[in-house]
């Protein structure tokens, strides 16, 4: 039975315990030929006793690759995996990987135990790189992967001071365009339903909303903003609360299409016409936006471009770790339909 240690045993420690050279341990780890059975068994016993986990670098020395990429979803709430954002992202990344020969592995990591387990799994050479999505501000997983020397690219970021390569959409600019459009249509009391504010994307969309109102000299008291969680139910609940607070509101910017769909349901239940009484704009432009009643005006995220950029940057990191982190922010586009 292996001894419990706080640090990670090294290849050299395995070699010393087995009484062989470092190269012999590497050949055993990589299942190479030319090692006597007795020597192989001695190395395997040392590996088991020390609890050694071969890392990605050791495997690459032998010219081996896993030919697999992990797409890691860190969302803590199971119900959110049913939202279109996850399905669309998986599709975009999968399509972009199609010509690389890489296998896509989907992994859910929600707790500290699962974080440590995934890092050990990845360090064992089972994946060549990782893509992370749905990160909260306090998530240390990108840092843990970086410390382990594993190529990592984020979809989105945790803060303005992100020190990992990432791809993001222009969340501030997209939200600002949406609210500017509402103002240009004569709306004077515009509310917002945010995403969870421990996510950087949600805070950026709120900032874009606030900037557009400030530039126009329009009022934006805190009571015009209600926090949601990107789900339809949170949109319905928040919209009901906003109508009660501000019966005269005439515009709403929702931080996702699913949130906007919930808002439309609540407005209909309250007898408000869209867009005649209240104009509504969402964010994402997933297929759902074309099936609401009325069809949803929304901010389009370039999901396919995001998928291509994620894969391109990760393949570059796998081939040769970059000296600098690369930060890519892609443009959004306001798509006009019937709701605003």
Is there a domain that residue 110 lies in? Answer: yes
Shared domain check, 288 and 204: yes
Is there a domain that residue 309 lies in? Answer: yes
92-95's contacts with Cβ under 8 Å and 24+ in sequence apart are 92/303, 92/304, 92/306, 92/307, 92/308, 93/131, 93/307, 93/310, 93/311, 94/307, 95/304, 95/307
pLDDT per position as a tens digit, 70-102: 999 987 765 556 678 888 889 999 999 888 888
Give percent of the chain above pLDDT 90: 65
Shared domain check, 96 and 122: yes
Banded pLDDT at 54 (limits 50, 70, 90): low
Domain that residue 25 falls in: 11-52
Is there a domain that residue 247 lies in? Answer: yes
Instruction: For residue 196, give the CATH number of its domain.
Output: 3.40.50.2300
Shared domain check, 176 and 262: yes
Is there a domain that residue 59 lies in? Answer: no
Shared domain check, 127 and 25: no
pLDDT per position as a tens digit, 176-196: 999 999 999 999 999 999 999
Three-class secondary structure of residue 26 per DSSP? helix
Shared domain check, 40 and 25: yes
Q: Which two tokens stand for residue 123?
A: 């360090």
Shared domain check, 280 and 175: yes
Is there a domain that residue 337 lies in? Answer: no
Is there a domain that residue 37 lies in? Answer: yes
The dihedral sign for the CA sequence 134, 130, 172, 267: negative
pLDDT per position as a tens digit, 197-209: 999 999 999 999 9
- Say which residues have a Cβ less than 8 Å from residue 26's Cβ, sequence separation at least 6: 11, 32, 58, 61, 62
Shared domain check, 324 and 270: no
3-state percent helix, strand, coil for the chain, nearest multiple of 5: 45, 15, 35
- 35 has pLDDT over 80: no
Shared domain check, 108 and 43: no
Shared domain check, 187 and 163: no
- Tally Cβ neighbours within 10 Å of residue 119: 19
Q: How many domains does the chain have?
A: 3
Is there a domain that residue 147 lies in? Answer: yes
Is there a domain that residue 61 lies in? Answer: no
Shared domain check, 225 and 188: yes
């Amino acid at each position: 039975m292996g001894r419990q240690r706080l640090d990670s045993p090294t290849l050299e420690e395995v070699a010393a315990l087995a009484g062989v050279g470092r190269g012999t341990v590497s050949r055993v780890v990589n299942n190479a030929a030319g090692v006597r059975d007795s020597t192989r068994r001695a190395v395997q016993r040392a590996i088991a006793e020390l609890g050694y986990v071969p890392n990605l670098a050791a495997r690459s020395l032998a010219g081996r690759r896993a030919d697999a990429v992990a797409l890691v979803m860190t969302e803590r709430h199971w119900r959110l995996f049913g939202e279109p954002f996850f399905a669309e992202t998986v599709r975009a990344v999968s399509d972009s990987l199609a010509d690389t020969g890489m296998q896509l592995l989907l992994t859910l990591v929600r707790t500290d135990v699962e974080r440590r387990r995934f890092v050990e799994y990845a360090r064992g050479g089972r994946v060549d790189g990782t893509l992370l999505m749905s990160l909260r501000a306090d998530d240390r997983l990108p840092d843990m992967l970086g410390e382990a020397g594993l190529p990592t690219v984020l979809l989105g970021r945790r803060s303005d001071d992100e020190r990992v390569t990432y791809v993001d959409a222009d969340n501030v600019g997209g939200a600002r365009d949406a609210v500017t459009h509402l103002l240009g249509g004569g709306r004077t009391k515009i509310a917002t339903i945010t995403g969870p504010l421990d996510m950087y994307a949600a805070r950026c969309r709120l900032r874009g909303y606030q900037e557009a109102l400030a530039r126009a000299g329009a009022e934006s008291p805190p009571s015009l903003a209600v926090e949601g969680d990107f789900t339809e139910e949170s949109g319905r609940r928040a919209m009901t609360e906003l109508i009660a607070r501000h019966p005269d509101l005439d515009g709403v910017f929702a931080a996702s299409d699913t949130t906007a769909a919930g808002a439309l349901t609540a407005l209909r239940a309250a007898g408000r016409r869209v867009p005649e009484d209240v104009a509504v704009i969402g964010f994402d432009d997933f297929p759902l936006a074309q099936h609401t009643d009325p069809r949803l005006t929304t901010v389009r995220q370039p999901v396919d471009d995001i998928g291509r950029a994620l894969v391109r940057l990760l393949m570059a990191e796998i081939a040769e770790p970059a000296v600098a982190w690369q930060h890519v922010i892609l443009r959004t586009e306001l798509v006009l339909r019937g709701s605003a």
